[in-house]
Amino acid sequence: MALSARNRLSGTVQSVETDGLMAEVEIELDADQVVTAVITSGSVDRLGVEEGKELSAVIKATEVMVEN
Amino acid sequence: MALSARNRLSGTVQSVETDGLMAEVEIELDADQVVTAVITSGSVDRLGVEEGKELSAVIKATEVMVEN
Amino acid sequence: MALSARNRLSGTVQSVETDGLMAEVEIELDADQVVTAVITSGSVDRLGVEEGKELSAVIKATEVMVEN
Amino acid sequence: MALSARNRLSGTVQSVETDGLMAEVEIELDADQVVTAVITSGSVDRLGVEEGKELSAVIKATEVMVEN
Amino acid sequence: MALSARNRLSGTVQSVETDGLMAEVEIELDADQVVTAVITSGSVDRLGVEEGKELSAVIKATEVMVEN
Amino acid sequence: MALSARNRLSGTVQSVETDGLMAEVEIELDADQVVTAVITSGSVDRLGVEEGKELSAVIKATEVMVEN
C-alpha cells in the first residue's frame, strides 16, 4: 500500500491534546524539529495515537510552502 | 512578522525543478529527511530558491496527517 | 499501516494525463461518480498509476466542503 | 453559478456532530461509500445541514491523493 | 445553491496564464488587492475564465493563515 | 523573510472566537470584504490576535478556487 503524498517524516509523539471533535498532535522528528498536526479526535482513537508512539507526519507536496 | 502556520522546518535546497507555472523544490532537513514542496515558479523566482540555499518548509497544522 | 485521513474512496483509474511536473488522474468510483486528483508526475510513476488500475482516492476531512 | 473545484459527490447526510466552532458531517454517497467533512458550525447553520438532507461533498482536485 | 466555504471575494480577472494541466488566474479585488488562484486548465475552460470577467475567489476558512 | 504563499490580504481583525483548540478569526479587508480564518488557538495566543489589530490573511494559491 502506497500513498501519493510525497512527504513522510518519522518521529515520536510528544503530546496529544484532544478537545471535542479535533485533536492537536505534536510529533518530534529525529532532528529535534517538531511537527504539529491537527486531525480529528476520531482518527486519534482509530490510530491509537498517544505519547511516546512512533509514527509519521504525512503531507501532500502541494500543501508545503517555502520561506526564505 | 509572524505567521500562524505552526510548522517551520529548516533545511537546505537539494533540487529545484521548474516546469512552466509550477515548480518542485526538495529541501533536505537537518536529520536527512527530505521535504518536497510544489509551489509556483513565480514564487521560486521571487524568493530566489536555488540549490544549496538555506530556507524553511512551512506547513499549516490542519494540512498534516498522521500515519501509524 | 493506517492513515489519519478519513476519506478513502475506491475506484478504477479512468484516465491519467501527465504534463511535466503535474498529473491529472480521473478515478471512477463504484457508483459512476468520478473523482479527479491532481498529484505530481513523480507519484504517478512511483505508484504505477495507469488506466484500468484499481486504487483509492484519499482526502483529509478538513479539505471537504459541503454544497447545498 | 459554477465553481472551479472539480469534485462534486452527491449523497445524503448520515450524521452531523457540532462541537463549538467545528462540525463533522458524514455524507453517504450513492454507492455506500461515506465521505466525512470537517466544516465550521457556522456553515452547518447557514446551509441547514441535517440528517437526511441531500447535498454534495465538494473537493478541489489538488487536495485529492491516490493510494495504491 | 450554497457552499460551506466561508470566503468569497468578488473581483475582476486581471490575467489568466494557462500552461498544460494547470493555470494561474489573477483576480483584482475591489480594493486594489490581488488574489492569485492556481486551478486546472480544465476548470478555466469550463468556467470561461478570461481577462476582464467578473468572478469570485472562493477559499475554505481552514486554508487561511494569519500574519502579524 | 519572505513566504512562497502568493496571497496576502491586509485588514483589521473584526472578531476572534476561541473554542478549545481552534479559533475563528474574521478579518475586514480594506474594501469591506471579510475573510474568515480557522487557525489554532495556540497561534491566536502566539500572534496576539485580537479585535482591532491590523494583520494579513495569507493563502497559498493552490488553495484558491474560482466561482463564476
Which pLDDT value is given to residue A30? 79
- The secondary structure of F15-47, three-state, reads EEEEECCEEEEEEEECCCCEEEEEEEHHHHHHH
The count of residues in chain C is 68
Selecting from F5, F20, F40 the residue whose C-beta is nearest the C-beta of A65 gives F5
pLDDT at E30: 79
Q: Which CATH architecture has domain E7-61?
A: Beta Barrel (2.40)
Please check whether residue D57 touches C, CB under 8 A: yes
Question: What's the pLDDT tens digit per position in D15-61?
Answer: 999 999 999 999 999 778 999 999 999 999 999 999 999 999 999 99
- In the CATH scheme, what architecture does the domain F7-59 have? Beta Barrel (2.40)
Query: What are A33's three cell numbers?
Result: 524539529
Section A5-10 average pLDDT: 96
ipTM of the complex in this document: 0.96
Residues of chain B with pLDDT under 70: none
Tell me if chain E has a CB within 8 Å of the CB of D66. no
pLDDT of residue E12: 97
Any chains having at least 3 CB pairs less than 8 A from chain B are: A, C, E, F
* Nearest Cβ partner for C61 among D36, D55, D56: D36
Q: Check pLDDT > 80 for residue F54.
A: yes
- Residue B46 confidence (pLDDT): 97
For the domain made up of B7-57, the CATH class stated in words is mainly beta
Q: Is residue D17 within 8 Å of F1, Cβ to Cβ?
A: no
Tell me whether residues D6 and E40 touch, CB distance under 8 A.
yes
A contact residues 33-52, partner C, Cβ 8 Å cutoff: 37-40, 42-44, 46-47, 49
Q: Evaluate whether A35 touches A29 at the Cβ level (below 8 Å).
A: yes
For chains A and D, CB pairs below 8 A equal: 31
State the Cα–Cα distance between residues B33 and B45, nearest whole angstrom: 25
Least CA distance to A2: which residue of chain C? C47
**F10 at the B interface (CB within 8 A)?**
no
Bridging pattern class, strands E22-29 and D7-19: unpaired
Closest CA to C27 of C52, C6, C4, C3: C52
- C-beta separation of C40 from D46 below 8 A: no
Could you give the CA distance from residue B13 to residue B26 in angstroms, rounded to a whole number? 6
The residues spanned by each domain of chain C are: 7-60
CA distance C20 to E21: 9
Question: In this structure, which CATH number among 3.30.465.10, 2.40.50.100, 1.10.3720.10, 3.40.50.720 belongs to the domain C7-60?
Answer: 2.40.50.100
Q: Give how far A50 is from chain D: nearest CA, Å.
A: 22
Contact B42 F3 (CB under 8 A): no
* Closest A-chain CA to F43: A36
Smallest Cβ distance to C6: which of D10, D36, D66?
D36
Nearest CA in chain D to E2: D47
